[in-house]
Structure 1
Amino acid sequence: MKQLIDRFLSAVRRKRDVSFWYHPSYECPTIMKHNKVHGVVHDRGKKLLSHLLHEKLIDMTDIHPSPWVGLSVLGLFHSRDYLESLESPQTLGRIFGLKPQYVDIDELVGFQRRGVGGTIMAIKSVLQGGKKVAINLGGGFHHAEPDKGSGFCAYNDIAVAIAKLRKQGYQEPIAIVDLDFHFGNGNTAAFAKDPSVLVYSINGPQWSQVRKKKTEITLPEETTDREYLKKLRETFPKVLKTFQPKLMFYVAGHDVLSDDPLGGFEMTVPGVFERDRLVVDWARENRVPLVVTLAGGFSMKACQCSANLLSYTLGATEKVDLKEDTNFHKSFGHISKSLNTLELQKEAAIGNEFSFSAEDLFDSNPLGSQRKILDFYSAYGIELALERYGILPKIRKLGYCDLKISVNAAEPMHQIIRVEGRWEADPVPKTYLLGEVVLRKLALPKPKEVPGGGKLDLISIEWLLLQHPMGSFSDKKKILPGQEHPGLGLGMEVQEVFVQMALRLGMDGLALHPSHYHIGLGASALFHFLDPKVEGRFRALREVLKKKELAAASFCVEKKRLQLRDGEVISWVPGDQIHAVSGRLKAYFNSPDYEEAVLKEKYRLLKEGLHIARAPKRLRKAAPRRHSGKLAS
């Protein structure tokens, strides 16, 4: 029992000792789209964070947004001429292996600047912020030299960060441990004449002309776990003990696996875990602050290695299982509890956690205005929630990339959240609207049967669009009234997100005002019309249309073919369709009085001969025309 308690307390202490630095721009879509390397994971950082959160190894307070680094900081290491040359698509194309016409300068330069910012802030967190380990899910740009970039590295984050430290007066010895498959020529060139910085590395065959030091070891291709770990155990502890660093960087490249598309070693996942464990343990045992950058390794197996490393720094001894959870209500409720109020309200900014001058680091908030959705959710919080609940990952699985979330909360009665993205296979980059919702707070008169005082406080979903612009209609997925494109197939997940929002805000429920029959039908499992007469009419329509396919049923209502025996048309009249969240509203919908009133109206219409009238002759053979409405799920 004592051993179990000690292990638990050790894991808790480790969690408190570790911070993470990340920015969505790390998932640079241009590189992933135009560098056709098989088996590459496009969203490594988000995938790792998502699963660490899911496994409860971290919470959102452990994740910090990497700031944008100004040219004045980059200029501490890189030459002015070189920095100016990065305005050229030809220069960036050479560095990132892209044709000039595919180069997005702002995107490529932006994600590298954020990566440098993440490493700088990681250093601050271990030297001034009380952390023992700080992990930048970007960075590790070890190929960039003072006046030249290469190998997907425009800036050298570690070299820039050390230059910044030295300028601030930090003179302690620093070690760089580089275990990426590729030789880190940039770091070697940067510190060739600096005895205060040790570069220790084990890499594959060298392709750069930069001369290595004795502490930089080359191993042949096809090196196995046994050979690699033998060399590491023989040299690493001895070299580090002799040097006695006071700060250590670990360039944890996971491109050393046997099937890595860009590597050449024959290592296994357990072998890489043992490698990483040796490095982390040495830093902890010798009380040396450790900054980890992930560097190379973008295969699924490499992501598993990264997950193992990150979880080990947090005290876990087993690997993180990168599986997808599909139990929406259970998992969404669990995730909602883990998102605290501060996380959902905070903006994507560094704040005052560390002291940086405005000329050094600054962070813009590209996600939206400072006004909050429903007076609570910031743009940053919305993005976190959509990521955590799995909405954005599932959109990516459909083939979209470079997802952007924007909000406009300026009008309290018309607050907008949009999700846009690019189609990964598009030869020419184009942005598509994938999702849009308009929300507002709504206070409805309370039916007298609902207990308590006041009105019903609801989140009104004024407008909801979930569309798959690159999808196609088919016999199995037919066009519905109001659709231009098929839906994303995320209606239930998005609905559950709104439920969690209402629960968090302590509101009575959600309100829809469905403009079409199929929308009301899609929500009817959880939503009921507040007016029992309207609910009764809806159920009568549903009864008559139950043998029709959804598209055909909705068109019957749209074409006014639902009629009584005397010819009276029963049209679709939108009403307030409510999903009860509060106890008092649930009690109302579950009451015998409500159900009795509903059934009374339903059977009145059925007894009066509600039926589907024959279509006019001129319409019987006509195919349903395409509508220009928007609603889809």
Structure 2
Amino acid sequence: MLRHQPRVDLVIAPGYRYALPGGLLDAERPTRVFSFLRRAGLVLRGRLHRPHPASFAELRAAHDDDYLERLQRPGALTHVVGFNIPDRAEQELLAVEREMTGGTLLAARLALASRGIAVNVGGGFHHAHRDRGGGFCIFNDVAVAIRAQRAAGFGGRILVVDLDLHDGDGTRSIFADDPTVHTYSVHNQNWNDRPAIEATVLPLGPGVDDARYLETLAATLPPLFERFRPELVVYLCGADPAADDALGDWQVSAAGLLERDRMVTGLARRRHLPLVVTLAGGYGDNSWRYFARFLSWLLYGRVLEPPTTADLIVDRFRDLMHSFPVGELRGTVEEEPLLTEADLGGGQGLASPETRLLGFYSLSGLELALERLGHMARLRELGFASPQVEFDLGASGQTLRIFGSRGRRELLLELRLRRDRRSIPGEELLAVDWLLLQNPRGRFTPTRPALPGQTYPGLGMLRETMAALLLICDRLQLSGLIVTPSHFHAVAQARSQMSFLDPRAEGLFRSFRKALQPLALGEATRAASDGRLRNAETGVPVRWIPTPMILPVTAALRQRLDSSEYERAAADSELELRLEELSAAGPPASGRAAAPAEEEGVP
């Protein structure tokens, strides 16, 4: 804990959202951090600031005119993001990074004025050079902020501590000839070898763990503070060194990252130095949680553990849904009907067709809910200007579909639901018999190739969709959600939030996961389904068989799935199987799933 809690200002704007295809960048990362802090009561009046986008005059202080002009041309960001994106998405990305760059500008002004800490809940675009961008970085916000403070009269020495997983090459190149700015970067590998007058460049290679990371920092950073004697510190606290980062190759734990953050903060605060903090890198749905832990410590003096991403989404949606009058969702108003059932022939033996999803939601009520929860706005951000919602409530099942527009029948979402009273005696569940989320205009990328069963890339809205389904369970007083994923990759992605109905399936999944750990997700899915894994004791090929998974809503169902009896059965099943990959094996000769024996599958 800091001896005296410093003043901490937060900088964020509603426009702090990335919306890129592929799903590596969590578009809601800054928003999730802020939502967590607000719910924890850590956002203080007078300490929250909204930035203006950086002006071109400010950008020109760190970037060439030719580069800024090239950015206005279609396709200019292909090199920056690594793949082609639509022109509209390019313009939105330019606007977001300009606003976040303005956030770092504002944070620098606030920190120098208060002699405290100012946090931009965004920014950290350290791969942007004076004449080019790269690695999702268009404008070098740190360089722009430093140049702005120089223009405002601040002449002190500045230390940039860059602890993103990747090399801070752009910032180092911009200040290569400036002896008053030291760029310190600990990363996995160098992005360029250009020397700088004041720089510490420490490439550690892959596989770095807590011990090596923290030892490196402890051996090099305190002496640098003593020698260079900075008067302003800018800290890029990237979350991509984390072991679960979607792009990272290090194995640093949450505790290790927090210890790193405390070390940097302590070095600055013990010297009463103003400190600017930026979000920097972090990929995947959980990256926001590392920054949230750090900020809770900065603001509160001790660490508050953030909820899971799924729980955060559900809580936010639940707040919104509780504000909806039930009549809006049902599409009803408290008025006498203009026509009675008898007027319509209802009293003459004519069956009334189903008009409500699950007997509750009208089409207009569900459209309103999707609009208020932000689903429709997200689809519009992806380029689908007029999403259309349709019901099919026939005898084959109750299906919700969303198309991209009225004219172009681009299917974005298809969801088939029913009430399930059979899977768990005494419990009523919401069964998802089919769920498709796809972007027909998206493209697969080298970092996000097609997975088995995919025709188009996903929408990046699975968590939000599952959260909305949980709210349906809330509204209809159902015990939970039951799903049977078709492919192993879907199981692996869902497992962090869902449990298997049968504990033996949990044990089998653990065995599959252990054996397939070295493989990429797509290859692991193919190996799980085509007989490339065998029982180590019997030699019998083993395939993954789709099996039901549960997301509990009620405490009683959650307790059942968390019980010691469930864990004991899962552990017993895990011990029955020893899976090993066959280097050159195909499907079993019979061509059938190798699970007829009870030990090989889940009945």
- 1:416-427 matches, cutoff 5 A: 420-423=376-379
Q: Distance in 2 between matches of 1:153 and 1:328?
A: 30
1:159 aligned to 2:143?
A: yes
Conserved in 1, the CA contact under 8 Å of 2:18 and 2:26? no
Distance 1:493 1:258, change over 3 A: closer
Report the CA distance between 1:123 and its aligned residue: 0.9
Alignment counterpart, residue 27 of structure 1, candidates 17, 40, 61:
17
Q: Distance in 1 between matches of 2:243 and 2:386?
A: 37
Counting matched residue pairs gives: 362
1:258 is matched with 243
Letter in 2 for 1:430: A
Q: Distance in 1 between matches of 2:144 and 2:179?
A: 17
1:17 is matched with 7
2:72 is matched with 87
Conserved in 1, the CA contact under 8 Å of 2:164 and 2:237? yes
Letter in 2 for 1:167: A
Distance 1:400 1:74, change over 3 A: farther
Q: Distance in 2 between matches of 1:206 and 1:271?
A: 22
1:42 is matched with 27
Conserved in 1, the CA contact under 8 Å of 2:75 and 2:87? no
1:411 is matched with none
Report the CA distance between 1:209 and its aligned residue: 4.4
Q: Distance in 2 between matches of 1:88 and 1:262?
A: 29
Distance 1:190 1:77, change over 3 A: same
- 1:298-309 matches, cutoff 5 A: 298-309=283-294
Conserved in 2, the CA contact under 8 Å of 1:95 and 1:153? yes
2:410 is matched with none
Distance 1:120 1:432, change over 3 A: same
1:170 is matched with 154
Letter in 2 for 1:294: L
Conserved in 1, the CA contact under 8 Å of 2:380 and 2:387? no
Letter in 1 for 2:208: T
Report the CA distance between 1:126 and its aligned residue: 1.3
TM-score, normalised to structure 1, is 0.51
Let me know the Cα RMSD of the aligned residues: 3.8
1:204 aligned to 2:159?
A: no
Conserved in 1, the CA contact under 8 Å of 2:183 and 2:199? no
Q: Distance in 1 between matches of 2:90 and 2:318?
A: 43
1:497 is matched with none
Task: Render the CA deviation track for 1:238-264: whole Å, top value 9, x for unaligned.
Answer: 101211111110011110012322222
Letter in 1 for 2:215: K
Report the CA distance between 1:329 and its aligned residue: 13
Letter in 1 for 2:22: N
Report the CA distance between 1:136 and its aligned residue: 0.5
Report the CA distance between 1:158 and its aligned residue: 0.8
Distance 1:327 1:89, change over 3 A: closer
Distance 1:24 1:330, change over 3 A: closer
Letter in 2 for 1:35: G
Conserved in 2, the CA contact under 8 Å of 1:141 and 1:156? yes
Letter in 1 for 2:153: G
In structure 1, the residue corresponding to 2:183 is in which secondary structure? strand
Task: Render the CA deviation track for 1:428-465: whole Å, top value 9, x for unaligned.
Answer: 5334489xxxxxxxxxxxxxxxxxxxxxxxxxxxxxxx
1:430 aligned to 2:415?
A: no
Conserved in 2, the CA contact under 8 Å of 1:399 and 1:424? no
In structure 1, the residue corresponding to 2:234 is in which secondary structure? strand
Conserved in 1, the CA contact under 8 Å of 2:23 and 2:284? no
Distance 1:214 1:197, change over 3 A: closer
Report the CA distance between 1:97 and its aligned residue: 2.1
Distance 1:240 1:327, change over 3 A: closer
Alignment counterpart, residue 192 of structure 1, candidates 172, 176, 192:
176
TM-score, normalised to structure 2, is 0.54
1:181 is matched with 165
Q: Distance in 2 between matches of 1:101 and 1:248?
A: 37
Distance 1:198 1:475, change over 3 A: closer
Q: Distance in 1 between matches of 2:301 and 2:372?
A: 32
Structure 1 spans left out of the alignment, 5+ residues: 1-6, 336-394, 404-418, 435-466, 478-485, 495-633
Task: Render the CA deviation track for 1:271-313: whole Å, top value 9, x for unaligned.
Answer: 1111111001111111000000010013344322111111111
Conserved in 1, the CA contact under 8 Å of 2:159 and 2:181? yes
1:218 aligned to 2:194?
A: no
Q: Percent identity?
A: 29
Distance 1:399 1:273, change over 3 A: farther
1:294 aligned to 2:286?
A: no
Distance 1:298 1:327, change over 3 A: closer
Q: Distance in 1 between matches of 2:210 and 2:370?
A: 36
Task: Render the CA deviation track for 1:139-184: whole Å, top value 9, x for unaligned.
Answer: 1011111111111111100111111111122111111000111001
- 1:169-568 matches, cutoff 5 A: 169-211=153-195, 215-323=200-308, 324=311, 403=374, 420-423=376-379, 429-432=384-387, 470=413
Structure 2 spans left out of the alignment, 5+ residues: 324-365, 390-400, 404-412, 420-429, 431-464, 476-603
Distance 1:196 1:225, change over 3 A: same
Q: Distance in 2 between matches of 1:225 and 1:60?
A: 36
Q: Distance in 2 between matches of 1:203 and 1:178?
A: 9
Q: Distance in 2 between matches of 1:425 and 1:105?
A: 12
In structure 2, the residue corresponding to 1:48 is in which secondary structure? helix
Distance 1:44 1:329, change over 3 A: closer
Conserved in 1, the CA contact under 8 Å of 2:126 and 2:169? yes
Conserved in 1, the CA contact under 8 Å of 2:26 and 2:284? yes
In structure 1, the residue corresponding to 2:128 is in which secondary structure? coil
Alignment counterpart, residue 57 of structure 1, candidates 31, 42, 46:
42
- 1:560-599 matches, cutoff 5 A: none
Report the CA distance between 1:114 and its aligned residue: 0.4
Distance 1:420 1:302, change over 3 A: closer
Q: Distance in 1 between matches of 2:176 and 2:205?
A: 24
Q: Distance in 1 between matches of 2:41 and 2:275?
A: 22
Q: Distance in 1 between matches of 2:266 and 2:316?
A: 38
Task: Render the CA deviation track for 1:116-146: whole Å, top value 9, x for unaligned.
Answer: 1000100111112x26111111110111111
In structure 1, the residue corresponding to 2:76 is in which secondary structure? helix
Distance 1:136 1:329, change over 3 A: closer
Distance 1:424 1:330, change over 3 A: closer
